[in-house]
């Protein structure tokens, strides 16, 4: 039999491994910044596939590009040139403002993009890679080793040797850790899964200076911050630095599985044929989606919109002056609403009941990472609803606020 006898919650939990503690909202359709569940309820999607659906759902440019590509040629083999991937790589290097010495290797996910970066670091011949506490870099064994969140790592010991974690945002700790054995330092410009914690002012610039002086590579994991999320194509542009390697995924494919590891200068030439690869990485259909994403962001002035809207939302939430709100972290459309009590799960549940999808990224932080095309009106509806959502969450949770 192909099908199921189960209904509702029981069915959604039956055949898939429960890796995400999914609350059982089955989303069946999306358009723009809205999604609909299997019962026909509409939600404003402030999670955006977790920072992924930069152009929202079913964007006409992505639909057209993907449809045309799949009807032309979907996939060949890495033995032959994939012109769509070439075009996307050129476009990426163009928006990154990088010259001819930079190169791209595509993947299917952020974890894989970080695996590529990790492998490039190994090819320097130096043994040590430095990452930070609180960082999230993926769940494959290499990217999990780089991840600085013990509950995610510990069940899978022994992990990959040669990785050291230091406190995030601490320049002195970074300076003390980097030495002649250091191949690379990998940083998230904003800790995403760690709770939307931006690097302190000057940290990325100091990391650039420290790694350059030591002859180590600086890798920025821009899987969450890249492709316009912060109101610039990449976070490193806001910091005014160029990393040796940066990794992308999430927004890059506009909802299709696509990641990239971009390397600059000497790092761009470390891989030789046979060192690395993956069957589907940069697949023509996904690459066509990526091109549509980049072209639409550029043509529609989306970066400017993201900067302005992010400021409006943050200011609007701060102005609510609600006792459960401690403040707002982040910039652009990657915002963390810090709570004065660890009830983000109840907030996400109350929000969904009122038609808003938000993410309880940490117990005391609600993450907003909506489509970059979210309108002022839609954002305003959420901000206006937030006090009621918080009151409901507090009423449903036995905590003092
Ligand atoms: N790096 C960062 C910064 C991420 O936020 C994530 C995903 N949350 C990853 C890497 C892993 O990406 P993926 O899930 O596509 O493997």
Task: Please tell me the total count of domains within the chain.
Answer: 2
- Decide: 145 and 153 in contact? Cβ < 8 Å: yes
Tell me which residue of 57, 30, 60, 55 sits closest to 42, measured CA to CA. Answer: 30
> Which among 52, 138, 229, 259 is the best mutation to test ligand 1's pocket, defined by most ligand atoms within 8 Å of the CB?
138
218 to each of 140, 144, 241, 307, how far by Cα in Å? Answer: 21, 18, 10, 26
Tell me which residue of 129, 146, 128 sits closest to 137, measured CA to CA. Answer: 146
**CATH value at residue 335:** 3.90.1150.10
- Decide: 95 and 294 in contact? Cβ < 8 Å: yes
- Decide: 110 and 247 in contact? Cβ < 8 Å: yes
57 within domain boundaries: no
238 within domain boundaries: yes
The 3-state DSSP class for residue 262 equals strand
Within this chain, do residues 281 and 337 fall inside the same structural domain, yes or no? no
pLDDT of residue 25: 85
Within this chain, do residues 121 and 255 fall inside the same structural domain, yes or no? yes
ipTM over 0.90: yes
Dihedral Cα 8, 10, 16, 20, nearest 10 deg: 80
Rounded distance, CA 135 to CA 367, Å? Answer: 16
- The mean pLDDT value for 350-375 works out to 97
Element (H, E) at 259: strand 259-263
359 within domain boundaries: yes
108 within domain boundaries: yes
pLDDT bin (cut points 50, 70, 90) of residue 230 is: very high
Q: Write down the mean pLDDT value for the chain.
A: 95
78-105 tens-digit pLDDT: 899 999 999 999 999 999 999 788 999 9
Within this chain, do residues 264 and 292 fall inside the same structural domain, yes or no? yes
pLDDT bin (cut points 50, 70, 90) of residue 178 is: very high
Examine the pLDDT at 3 and tell me if it is beyond 70. no
DSSP string computed for 309-326 = HHHHHHHHHHHH--TTEE
Examine the pLDDT at 236 and tell me if it is beyond 80. yes
**Binding-site positions for pyridoxal 5'-phosphate:** 110-111, 136, 221-224, 279
The 3-state DSSP class for residue 72 equals coil
Three-state secondary structure readout of 191-253: ECCCCCEECCCCHHHHHHHHHHHHCCEEEEECCCCCCCCCCCCCHHHHHCCCCCEEEECHHHH
Q: Is the distance from the beta carbon of residue 138 to the nearest atom of ligand 1 less than 6 Å?
A: yes
101-124 tens-digit pLDDT: 899 999 999 999 999 999 999 999
pLDDT of residue 399: 57
Atom of ligand 1 nearest to the CA of 225: 3
- Decide: 287 and 106 in contact? Cβ < 8 Å: yes
Within this chain, do residues 313 and 286 fall inside the same structural domain, yes or no? no
363 within domain boundaries: yes
Rounded distance, CA 36 to CA 24, Å? Answer: 13
How is residue 172 written in tokens? 């002195």
The domain in which residue 94 lies consists of 62-299
Within this chain, do residues 184 and 317 fall inside the same structural domain, yes or no? no
Residue 201 CB-density burial (10 A; 0-12 exposed, 13-18 middle, 19+ buried): exposed
Tell me which residue of 190, 188, 183 sits closest to 161, measured CA to CA. Answer: 183
Examine the pLDDT at 216 and tell me if it is beyond 80. yes
Within this chain, do residues 164 and 272 fall inside the same structural domain, yes or no? yes
> Which among 50, 249, 252 is the best mutation to test ligand 1's pocket, defined by most ligand atoms within 8 Å of the CB?
249
CB atoms within 10 A of CB 291: 22
274-305 tens-digit pLDDT: 999 999 999 999 999 999 999 999 999 999 99
pLDDT bin (cut points 50, 70, 90) of residue 2 is: low
Percent of the chain surpassing pLDDT 90: 89
Q: Is the distance from the beta carbon of residue 221 to the nearest atom of ligand 1 less than 6 Å?
A: yes
262 within domain boundaries: yes
Within this chain, do residues 141 and 119 fall inside the same structural domain, yes or no? yes
Within this chain, do residues 335 and 288 fall inside the same structural domain, yes or no? no
Rounded distance, CA 207 to CA 219, Å? Answer: 10
Choosing from 299, 314, 332, the residue where a domain stops is 299
The CA-based angle 253-254-258, given to 5 degrees, is 15
DSSP string computed for 114-169 = HHHHHHHHHTTS--EEEEETT----SSHHHHHH---HHHHGGG-S--SSEEEE-TT
Within this chain, do residues 269 and 358 fall inside the same structural domain, yes or no? no
55 within domain boundaries: no
26 within domain boundaries: no
CB atoms within 10 A of CB 265: 15
Within this chain, do residues 294 and 311 fall inside the same structural domain, yes or no? no
119-138 tens-digit pLDDT: 999 999 999 999 999 999 99
Tell me how far the alpha carbon of residue 63 is from its chain's centroid.
22
Within this chain, do residues 225 and 310 fall inside the same structural domain, yes or no? no
Whether the model pTM is above 0.95: yes
Q: Is the distance from the beta carbon of residue 115 to the nearest atom of ligand 1 less than 6 Å?
A: no
**CATH value at residue 257:** 3.40.640.10
CA 5 to ligand 1 centroid distance, Å = 34
For residue 259, list its beta bridge partners. 107
Within this chain, do residues 110 and 218 fall inside the same structural domain, yes or no? yes
Would you give the DSSP letter of residue 32?
Answer: B
Atom of ligand 1 nearest to the CA of 50: 8
């Amino acid at each position: 039999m192909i099908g199921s006898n189960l209904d509702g919650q029981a069915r959604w939990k039956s055949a898939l491994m429960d890796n995400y503690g999914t609350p059982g909202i089955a989303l069946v359709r999306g358009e723009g910044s809205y999604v609909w569940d299997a019962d026909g309820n509409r939600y404003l999607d402030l999670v955006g596939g977790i920072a992924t659906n930069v152009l929202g759902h079913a964007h006409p440019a992505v639909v057209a590009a993907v449809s045309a590509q799949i009807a032309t040629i979907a996939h060949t083999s890495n033995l032959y040139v994939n012109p769509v991937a070439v075009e996307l790589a050129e476009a990426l290097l163009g928006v990154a403002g990088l010259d001819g010495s930079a190169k791209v290797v595509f993947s299917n996910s952020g974890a894989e993009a970080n695996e590529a970066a990790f492998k490039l670091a190994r090819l320097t011949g130096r043994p040590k890679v430095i990452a930070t506490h609180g960082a999230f870099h993926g769940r494959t064994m290499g990217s999990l080793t780089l991840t600085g969140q013990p509950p995610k790592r510990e069940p899978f010991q022994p992990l990959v040797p040669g990785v050291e974690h230091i406190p995030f945002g601490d320049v002195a700790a970074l300076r003390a850790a980097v030495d002649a054995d250091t191949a690379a330092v990998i940083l998230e410009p904003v800790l995403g899964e760690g709770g939307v914690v931006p690097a302190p002012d000057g940290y990325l610039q100091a990391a650039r200076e420290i790694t350059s002086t030591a002859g180590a590579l600086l890798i920025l994991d821009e899987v969450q911050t890249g492709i316009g999320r912060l109101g610039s194509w990449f976070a490193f542009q806001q910091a005014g630095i160029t990393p040796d390697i940066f990794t992308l995924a999430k927004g890059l494919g506009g909802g299709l599985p696509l990641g990239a590891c971009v390397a600059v200068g000497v790092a761009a030439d470390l891989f030789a044929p046979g060192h690395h690869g993956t069957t589907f990485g940069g697949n023509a259909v996904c690459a066509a989606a990526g091109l549509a994403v980049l072209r639409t962001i550029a043509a529609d002035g989306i970066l400017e919109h993201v900067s302005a809207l992010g400021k409006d939302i943050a200011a609007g939430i701060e102005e609510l002056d609600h006792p459960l709100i401690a403040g707002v972290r982040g910039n652009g459309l990657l915002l963390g609403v810090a709570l004065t009590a660890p009830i983000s799960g109840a907030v996400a549940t109350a929000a969904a009941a009122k038609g808003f999808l938000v993410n309880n990224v940490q117990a005391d932080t609600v993450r907003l990472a909506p489509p970059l095309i979210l309108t002022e009106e839609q954002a305003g509806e959420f901000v206006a609803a937030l006090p009621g959502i918080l009151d409901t969450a507090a009423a449903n949770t036995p905590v003092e606020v």
